[in-house]
Amino acid sequence: MVGRERGRERPSAPCADRSGSTPFRRAARAGSNGYAGEKPFSEATAEAIDAEVLRIISESHEEAKRLLSAHRKQLDALAGALLSRETLNEREILQVTGLPPAPPLETAILRVASKAS
């Protein structure tokens, strides 16, 4: 986990501090949760929200690591080109990495939507 990599004695969640508290929970305890008076949800709901946020962040972190590992050769080629030239346009990036151009945004959105159906 992130904590061990940074020399902490125990692993930490990506959005938690050393005590394991998340920003959402710290704000709620401090009374600055954005609600006038009592918060409109229970402690159990707050815990469920925290767990879901942590799950989403953890899954996204793992997916990012997977993608970077899968495309390590292209990443290294891009890093080398950027070190030598500092800036690259889209054509140069595609040439250096050997990757195909990304589909138009509308197509990408339709693919995601069709997978959810």
Cα–Cα nearest to 39, from 49, 54, 29 = 29
Tell me the per-residue pLDDT of 43-82, one tens digit each, with 9 for 90 and over: 899 899 999 999 999 999 999 999 999 999 999 999 999 9
Which of 54, 70, 86 is the C-terminal boundary of a domain?
Answer: 70
pLDDT at position 98, please?
Answer: 93
Q: Tell me how far apart the alpha carbons of residues 28 and 49 are, in angstroms, rounded to a whole number.
A: 13
**How many domains would you assign to the chain?**
2
39 pLDDT band, cuts 50/70/90, is confident
The tokens describing 20, both together, are 């394991």
- Do 23 and 50 lie in a common domain? yes
Q: Is the pLDDT of residue 32 over 60?
A: no
Based on the domain organization, do 49 and 97 belong to the same domain?
A: no
Q: Which amino acid does the sequence have at 13?
A: A
Whether residue 36 is found in the same domain as residue 89? no
Q: Based on the domain organization, do 80 and 66 belong to the same domain?
A: no
**Distances 46 to 30, 38, 102 between C-alpha atoms, Å:** 14, 13, 39
* pLDDT score, position 106: 72
Kind plus residue range of the DSSP H or E element containing 112: helix 105-116
DSSP helix/strand/coil, 96 = helix
Residue range 80-96, pLDDT digits in tens: 999 999 999 999 999 99
Q: Are residues 48 and 105 in the same domain?
A: no
- Cα–Cα dist 70/64, whole Å: 10
How many helices, marked H, and strands, marked E, lie in the chain?
Answer: 6, 0
> Do 88 and 35 share a structural domain?
no
Q: What is the DSSP letter of 100?
A: P
Q: Is the pTM of this model over 0.85?
A: no
**pLDDT-derived band of residue 34, with 50, 70 and 90 as boundaries?**
low
Question: Within this chain, do residues 57 and 93 fall inside the same structural domain, yes or no?
Answer: no
